[in-house]
Amino acid sequence: MTMATAAVLFAVLLAAITVAESEYIDYNTTHKIIADKINVHLVPHSHDDVGWLKTVDQYYVGSNNSIRGACVQNVLDSVISALLEDKNRKFIYVEMAFFQRWWRQQSKAKKTKVKELVDSGQLEFINGGMCMHDEATPHYIDLIDQTTLGHQFIKEEFGKTPRVGWQIDPFGHSAVQAYLLGAELGFDSLFFARIDYQDRAKRLKQKTLEVVWRGSRSLGSSSQIFTGIFPRHYDPPDGFTFEINDVSPPIQDDILLFDYNVQERVNDFVSAALAQANVTRTNHIMWTMGTDFRYQYANSWFRQMDKFIHYVNQDGRVNALYSTPSIYTDAKYAANEQWPLKIDDFFPYADHANAYWTGYFTSRPALKGYVRVLSGYYQAARQLEFFKGRNESGPNTDALADALAIAQHHDAVSGTERQHVAADYAKRLSIGYAECPLLNISYCPPSEATLPNQKILVIVVYNPLAWKRNEVVQIPVSTREVFVQDSTGKEIESQLLPLSNATMSIRKQYVKAYIGKSLGEELKYWLAFPVSVPPLGFSTYILSRPERTGRSSTISMVCRSEGSVNNSVEVGQGNLKLLYSADEGKLTHYVNSRNLVTASVEQSYSYYSGNNGTDKDPQASGAYVFRSNGSFPIKSDHQASFTVLRGPILDEVHQQVNPWVSQITRIFKEKEHAEVEFTVGPIPIDDGIGKEIITQFTTTMETNRTFYTDSNGRDFIKRIRDFRTDWDLQVNQPIAGNYYPVNLGLYVQDSSTELSVLVDRSVGGSSLVDGQIELMLHRRLIHDDARGVGEALNETVCIVDNCEGLTIQGKLYLRIDPIGEGAKWRRTVGQELYSPLLLAFTEQDEDKGLHFKKSTFSGIDSSYSLPNNTALLTLQIEEDKDYSVKASVELKKLFPNKKISKVTEMSLSANQERTEMEKNKLVWKVGGSIEKPKVVRGGPVDPAELVVELAPMEIRTFFIFFDLLQTVPEVENHWVM
């Protein structure tokens, strides 16, 4: 080409460009659903973790950005501005913990505009809890509470009731989520992303990603919910993410600029839409337009979606529109399709062959234990707040409620956050606890201080359950010179037990670590004595020096081989006796003389070595993923590690398994279960191997690969080893792939007996061998598992510059019953473990008597106690012949000193009347031949008799209005039964 020719061509090209004009384009974003086309519902969203790599406040304000450039405040500021620019744009928001922070900082004018956006449907609250909670490790009461807190905020500020569940990121999904946190809230649908990779592959082929999920066998079709599983994750299809630093090509529609690509990008859109339509029933598909902490510059997203809606609809092959999950749900319902049925849950979750996310069932066991303890404490504090009257200006339960709410986040109690974030959750819980120290009960010098002359220690024992309890309490004391009486002066038999070496060691180490100084006087004993406490009430006990009486608590007798019969040591003085081998000190038999159960049972400890990954498969065991590299028994070094303590109230067996594993087994005279207190840690890793510690209870029962684990402390779900109900399982990880979350307990059974083990916090568990129960108690690992946290799960405690691995103390509860009789114990004791007796102390002058108006109190009618299968919160149908029946609660006796003027039944989160919720609920069609068991529900409340009827597994929520005084307005209280 000559220079003259080039000049001519350049002139022609320049002339062509100058003829065209660049001008404002009014993008048409008004499109709605079109019946005969594929409708692509674009759902703008931002997934904002309430703490993970950064703390909740750091994420909100955008600090600590060297870890992650995320600022939720920017997201909300930017989204609101973008929505105000175009009335057709939509956005959904989920985490009320963040939205509340933002809302507090807005002007009245801005709040008015936001309320208009909510009223018009441009901004919709989805899920509506304080966080997107985990589904494996929280207790169901915590799930209800955190959701209720968020729903009440939305109701009070906006007058709205969320109608869609949005659990897009939790690592597996529970049955309780389906029926309790879904249908019982009035939700019409539930959406999420994470399911097992094998399950997803089958559902993609069979177009069964969208189902009707029936999580409760007891409540059946009355608590089912339409559930959608995203085809891959909760982000858009490849090529359609538009944060400012994302790499997806934008639509370039200015003809004066290079790289004009409108048709190319429209073709990409249509191709992705048709691909998704091929795995989805009906002509409606959802694109989740967003992912983690997106929309910090919202116009970057909305500008592109405006263009796509405009040009795709001009093209005409598919229909694109701004939408929300509510609009999408209504479109699916209007299609009148029959949907496949899903039962039970979606555990465990794996994202590839060697990556089962079952390690987090146990990760950070100290935080899991702290959350569980303060959850039960919070329920008791709220009761006392009701009895006393709420203190608006002084201490109240609000801070603890907020702290517990965000602790249910799927990167909080799950244990999958960074270490500094875990510390932040614990700090918030501690502050919340300090704000409600049992409200009107003062905490004075601790029980372990030596009582001065002429002083007594008054102990108030509070029972948060609505049935009478007879239990043994244990308090630390530093002297053997103690004497216990009840409030009438009657002597109470008591027993002193020496502290174990492990407990004394932990006490010294951790007090110095967290308080900064060593303790003074050495703690020497646990003082154990029986108490009897009325329902929703307290009893008072007095601890004094025994100078005047000459009587004192019984010192436990220490022995090692006494009671040996046929080379066995028998421990226990009541119906229950445990037999240990005299030579090795190992548990061998469980004997209950009342129900005639005699069973061979052994307990052992082992550890799995954490897999570090290989060049072939770099997957390591970490905070999320459990991947073992072999199992190794932890053996006792010598027989001297076995000690028996005997006394009138309980016997104890102390065992030092190895230098960093020990336990105490307690057998109470009046109980028929054994309590096992374990101490594990510091787990050694100086050999370069991470370790995951387990304990196993082994029997000769023939259990046929079957075991049962609870769902968030409620239903027990049948599990079969190496089996999934929904697909033919390819077994790649026979250990991790058979682990399930355990919140309440795990049991196995054969034709004659059942073995149950209950827990005091969330753990992972399984039955990998017939007749055996296995529970993971603690984990310490040295590699990250590459799931985003970027930190090894290696918890330590430091004093100055000396750091050692975290030591965990926890409890397990063991019982063996005749077949069919274990459910009653699991339910009753499980509720008592969640709501333990609470103790408060005050020191008083001995000669002045008790300075209390009342030494005993019950919040309900003294002649009344709730049915045993009812816990102001009931039981699995057909679990127990006595408990699996309807129960009635008499409100007049529950509130004996108050006149009830009105009772209104509400949804679970109390944000709408139950009758309205039921009237508006969508009824979905289920395909195939399905067994339809009779659904039992409690009837309406009689306005005169005021009796609430409860069916098995049913939770009912009421607003109860009281007439206190003629001059005082009605008071509303929220009670869940």
Q: What is the pLDDT of residue 638?
A: 59
Instruction: Check pLDDT > 90 for residue 474.
Output: yes
Q: What is the pLDDT of residue 127?
A: 96
Nearest C-alpha neighbor of 134 from the set 51, 59, 223, 36: 51
Rounded CA separation 453/464 (Å): 34
Mean pLDDT of 233-249: 95
Q: Given pLDDT bands bounded at 50, 70 and 90, which one contains residue 448?
A: low
- Give residues with Cβ within 8 angstroms of 740, minimum separation 6: 347, 348, 358, 361, 709, 719, 746, 764, 765, 766
Q: Given pLDDT bands bounded at 50, 70 and 90, which one contains residue 1?
A: very low
Nearest C-alpha neighbor of 202 from the set 719, 728, 723, 721: 728
Fold for the domain defined by 39-349: 7-stranded beta/alpha barrel (3.20.110)
Mean pLDDT of 949-960: 83
Q: Rounded to the nearest 5°, which phi and psi values hold at 85?
A: -75, -25
Whole-prediction pTM value?
0.93
Between 11 and 193, the more confident residue is 193
Nearest C-alpha neighbor of 409 from the set 425, 398, 394: 425
Mean pLDDT of 300-305: 98
- Give residues with Cβ within 8 angstroms of 819, minimum separation 6: 749, 750, 751, 752, 753, 754
Q: What is the pLDDT of residue 305?
A: 98
- Give residues with Cβ within 8 angstroms of 147, minimum separation 6: 128, 129, 130, 133, 181, 185, 908, 909
Q: What is the pLDDT of residue 898?
A: 82
Q: Given pLDDT bands bounded at 50, 70 and 90, which one contains residue 388?
A: confident
Q: Encode pLDDT of 507-549 as tens digits.
A: 888 877 777 777 666 778 899 999 999 999 999 999 888 765 5
Collapse the DSSP code of 919 into the 3-class scheme (helix H, G, I; strand E, B; otherwise coil) and give the result.
helix
Rounded CA separation 726/198 (Å): 10
Contact 588, 568 (CB under 8 A): yes
Mean pLDDT of 312-318: 97
Q: What is the pLDDT of residue 958?
A: 86
Q: Given pLDDT bands bounded at 50, 70 and 90, which one contains residue 680?
A: very high
Nearest C-alpha neighbor of 874 from the set 828, 807, 920: 828
Long-range contacts of residues 638-644, Cβ cutoff 8 Å, at least 24 apart:
639/583, 639/584, 639/585, 640/560, 641/585, 642/560, 642/580, 642/584, 642/585, 643/558, 643/559, 643/560, 644/558, 644/559, 644/560, 644/562, 644/563, 644/569, 644/571, 644/580
Residue whose tokens read 């300090």: 434
Dump the DSSP string for 240-267: ---STT--SPPP---TTSS---HHHHHH
Domain ranges of the chain: 39-349, 603-819
**39-349 shares its CATH topology with 603-819:** no
Instruction: Name the β-bridge partners of 910.
Output: none
Rounded CA separation 268/171 (Å): 31
The two structure tokens encoding residue 541? 């006990």
Q: Encode pLDDT of 831-874 as tens digits.
A: 999 999 999 888 887 766 555 667 888 888 777 777 666 666 43
Instruction: Check pLDDT > 60 for residue 967.
Output: no
Q: Given pLDDT bands bounded at 50, 70 and 90, which one contains residue 27?
A: very high
Rounded CA separation 319/313 (Å): 6
The two structure tokens encoding residue 10? 């350049």
Instruction: Check pLDDT > 80 for residue 440.
Output: no
Mean pLDDT of 677-705: 97
The two structure tokens encoding residue 352? 């590839």
- Give residues with Cβ within 8 angstroms of 116, minimum separation 6: none
Q: What is the pLDDT of residue 565?
A: 57
Instruction: Check pLDDT > 50 for residue 441.
Output: no
Rounded CA separation 517/509 (Å): 10
The two structure tokens encoding residue 366? 């100290």
Rounded CA separation 254/124 (Å): 33
Q: Given pLDDT bands bounded at 50, 70 and 90, which one contains residue 15?
A: very low
Instruction: Check pLDDT > 90 for residue 905.
Output: no
Query: Could you tell me the CA-to-CA distances from 789 to 596, 785, 837 in Å, in that order?
Result: 51, 8, 37
Instruction: Check pLDDT > 80 for residue 560.
Output: no
Q: What is the pLDDT of residue 585?
A: 87
Q: What is the pLDDT of residue 948?
A: 85
Query: Could you tell me the CA-to-CA distances from 516 to 431, 509, 510, 800 in Å, in that order?
Result: 19, 10, 9, 9
Rounded CA separation 529/553 (Å): 9
Mean pLDDT of 476-499: 89
Q: Which segment, 44-58, 377-391, 580-594, is predicted with the most confidence on average? A: 44-58
Annotate 747-766 with b (16+ C-beta within 10 A) or e (fewer): bbbbeebbbbbbbbbbbbbb
Contact 843, 445 (CB under 8 A): yes
Mean pLDDT of 752-763: 98
Q: How many residues does the chain have?
A: 977
Q: What is the pLDDT of residue 976?
A: 64
64-68, 381-385, 411-415, 794-798: least confidently modelled range: 381-385
Instruction: Check pLDDT > 90 for residue 10.
Output: no
Collapse the DSSP code of 918 into the 3-class scheme (helix H, G, I; strand E, B; otherwise coil) and give the result.
helix
Instruction: Check pLDDT > 70 for residue 80.
Output: yes
Between 435 and 758, the more confident residue is 758
CATH 1.10.10.10 fits 603-819, yes or no: no
Instruction: Check pLDDT > 50 for residue 7.
Output: no
- Any idea what DSSP says for residue 965? -
Q: What is the pLDDT of residue 361?
A: 98
Q: Encode pLDDT of 189-226 as tens digits.
A: 999 999 999 999 999 999 999 999 999 988 888 889 99
Q: What is the pLDDT of residue 851?
A: 57
Contact 169, 94 (CB under 8 A): no
Nearest C-alpha neighbor of 270 from the set 311, 230, 223, 235: 311
Cis peptide bond upstream of 682, omega within 30? yes
Indicate if the alpha-carbon torsion angle 769, 772, 773, 774 is positive or negative.
negative
User: What percent of the chain lies above the pLDDT cut of 90?
Assistant: 70
Query: Could you tell me the CA-to-CA distances from 447 to 397, 430, 546 in Å, in that order?
Result: 25, 21, 16
Rounded CA separation 851/855 (Å): 9
